Amino acid sequence: MEASQFKDLNPSPRLLLGPGPSLVHPRVLRAMSTPVIGHLDPEFLALMNEVQALLRYVFQTQNELTIPISGTGSAGMEAALCNFIEPGDNVLIAVMGYFGERMVDMARRYGANVDRLDRQWGEIFDPAEIEQQLSRKKYKLLAFVHAETSTGAEQLHVKEIAAAAHKHGALVVMDCVTSLGGMPVRVDEWDVDIAYSCSQKCLSCPPGLAPLTVSPRAREVLRARKTPVANWYLDLTMVEKYWGNERTYHHTAPITMNYALREGLRIVAEEGLEARWARHRANAEALWAGLEELDLTPFVPPSYRLTPLTTCALSPRLDDVAGRKRLLDEYNIEVAGGFGPLKGKIWRIGLMGYGSRRENVTLLLAALRKLLS
Ligand SMILES: Cc1ncc(COP(=O)(O)O)c(C=O)c1O
């Protein structure tokens, strides 16, 4: 083995303005360089309590079972589905983009009979159409994405949708991977049963943890299961014993990622959620105005446009792949293209967490102006 062929790691100082991962806050990076301690060390157990308390704040919930799942956002999605689905259960999924599709795929793998409602990518659901479908058949669970990262659309009227689901006896699962910490997510007020997110977007941490919260109603459903949870690693009946009072070992917690999340959440609490949401909105509005001037029209109407993630239609003067390559090569700026039906039609620009800053908006718009000139 010629070790010298492997050079020192030296990643470029990218400005991450895509849909995630987003820029990691320097304080988070500092927290990650502190010593690793054991997953049952009393100091780590105390840190776990703090992480849970801070997560309850960002989710705006009193749910006792509010924890970071080890893994990325998809692990959160998987935990939100596998714990509540048993083979043969009827599940309704409202799909308005790529991540709704992923939910369908996962739910089927756990043996659910999945019915799906579909909206064209870029549109959202009217609560009445979801309620109509809920009244046709008995569903165990309704799932949808709050902030669809593939389109830039926010599913509005969550409270009404959750009320309809509960009226018909279904649990409510909400993906808030792109919204948590960047725009209003009110788990208790909206009466959402299971919500999950990720560490690498509006919480300004690296990818690796998936915050999850579970209502007492959903925990009863979990306790009443007739079959074991089909996914050992994400089985909340075991994981909750490590995060709860018993503190029994289940798997080795990713210690450093929990340091990161604690620091990311502490920063959210210091800023305050309302101020943070307002900052994301103000910077998004500045971006939208600049994009309009460049003829890169935002793809989603303002009434349900996400603030942490903007999608814009490409102009004929801007080639999708070549344009993004130039942004990366010449300016170290990362933005993302569209995929599925939106491939080649839109760009996805994230202003998330620590990355949601006025100077980043100015820099990106200046670089785009150069590209278009
Ligand atoms: C809405 C949504 N759900 C789920 C995921 C999956 O998260 P991850 O890629 O962290 O596994 C993503 C990722 O971007 C997402 O945007």
Q: What's the length of the chain?
A: 373
d(CA 263, CA 353): 13
Q: According to the model, what pLDDT value does residue 341 have?
A: 97
Question: H-helix or E-strand containing 30?
Answer: helix 26-32
Instruction: Work out whether strand 309-313 and strand 346-350 pair parallel, antiparallel, or are unpaired.
Output: antiparallel
Domain boundary assignment for the chain? 15-21+273-372, 26-269
Q: According to the model, what pLDDT value does residue 184 have?
A: 98
| pLDDT tens, position by position, 273-289 | 999 999 999 999 999 99
3-state secondary structure at position 336: strand
Nearest partner of 203 among 36, 367, 353, 15, judged by Cα: 353
Please choose from 148, 198, 306 the residue to mutate so as to test ligand 1's pocket, defined by most ligand atoms within 8 A of CB: 198
Confidence band for 344, pLDDT divided at 50, 70 and 90: very high
Q: Whose CA is nearest to atom 16 of ligand 1?
A: 149
What tokens does 71 get?
A: 């893994």
Percent of the chain with pLDDT over 70: 100
Confidence band for 29, pLDDT divided at 50, 70 and 90: very high
pTM attached to this predicted model: 0.98
Confidence band for 80, pLDDT divided at 50, 70 and 90: very high
Helices 42-59 and 255-271, axial angle in degrees (round to 10): 40
Q: Whose CA is nearest to atom 2 of ligand 1?
A: 177
Q: According to the model, what pLDDT value does residue 245 have?
A: 93
d(CA 358, CA 284): 9
| pLDDT tens, position by position, 109-121 | 999 999 999 999 9
Q: Is 344 left (phi over 0), alpha (psi -120 to 50) or beta?
A: left
What tokens does 211 get?
A: 């915050």
- What's phi and psi for 253, nearest 5 deg? -65, 140
d(CA 209, CA 47): 15
Ligand 1 pocket member 69 (CB < 6 A)? no
Q: According to the model, what pLDDT value does residue 267 have?
A: 98
| pLDDT tens, position by position, 170-191 | 999 999 999 999 999 999 999 9
Please choose from 149, 203, 257 the residue to mutate so as to test ligand 1's pocket, defined by most ligand atoms within 8 A of CB: 149
Ligand 1 pocket member 263 (CB < 6 A)? no
Q: What is the DSSP code string of 157-179?
A: -HHHHHHHHHHTT-EEEEE-TTT
The alpha-helical segments, DSSP class H, found in 118-225 are 127-134, 158-167, 187-190, 216-223
What tokens does 42 get?
A: 């009393």
Please choose from 16, 69, 70, 74 the residue to mutate so as to test ligand 1's pocket, defined by most ligand atoms within 8 A of CB: 74
Q: According to the model, what pLDDT value does residue 231 have?
A: 98
Residues with Cβ < 8 Å from 276, sequence gap 6 or more? 181, 182, 268
Confidence band for 96, pLDDT divided at 50, 70 and 90: very high
The mean of the pLDDT values for the chain is 98
Q: How far is the centre of ligand 1, averaged over its atoms, from the C-alpha of 76 (Å)?
A: 9
Ligand 1 pocket member 150 (CB < 6 A)? no
Confidence band for 14, pLDDT divided at 50, 70 and 90: very high
For 104, 156, 271, 273, 283, the CA distances from 278, given in Å and listed in that order, are 33, 18, 11, 8, 9
Q: According to the model, what pLDDT value does residue 219 have?
A: 98
Q: According to the model, what pLDDT value does residue 191 have?
A: 98
**What's the average model confidence in pLDDT over 123-144?**
98
Q: Whose CA is nearest to atom 5 of ligand 1?
A: 73
Q: Is residue 191 a contact partner of residue 163, using CB atoms and an 8 Å limit?
A: yes
Q: Is residue 350 a contact partner of residue 273, using CB atoms and an 8 Å limit?
A: no
Q: Is 169 left (phi over 0), alpha (psi -120 to 50) or beta?
A: left
Confidence band for 334, pLDDT divided at 50, 70 and 90: very high
Q: According to the model, what pLDDT value does residue 289 have?
A: 98
d(CA 279, CA 270): 14
d(CA 353, CA 205): 9
**What's the average model confidence in pLDDT over 227-248?**
97
What tokens does 245 get?
A: 């009072």
Ligand 1 pocket member 207 (CB < 6 A)? yes
Q: According to the model, what pLDDT value does residue 185 have?
A: 99
**What's the average model confidence in pLDDT over 44-48?**
98
Ligand 1 pocket member 339 (CB < 6 A)? no
d(CA 235, CA 365): 45
Q: How far is the centre of ligand 1, averaged over its atoms, from the C-alpha of 19 (Å)?
A: 9
For residue 97, the ligand 1 atom closest to its alpha carbon is 1
- What's phi and psi for 91, nearest 5 deg? -130, 135
Q: According to the model, what pLDDT value does residue 117 have?
A: 98
For residue 176, the ligand 1 atom closest to its alpha carbon is 1
Confidence band for 232, pLDDT divided at 50, 70 and 90: very high
Q: Is residue 144 a contact partner of residue 119, using CB atoms and an 8 Å limit?
A: no
Q: According to the model, what pLDDT value does residue 253 have?
A: 98
Q: According to the model, what pLDDT value does residue 181 have?
A: 98
Domain over 15-21+273-372 is classified CATH 3.40.50.2300: no
**Spelled out in words, what is the top-level CATH class assigned to the domain 26-269?**
alpha beta
Ligand 1 pocket member 24 (CB < 6 A)? no
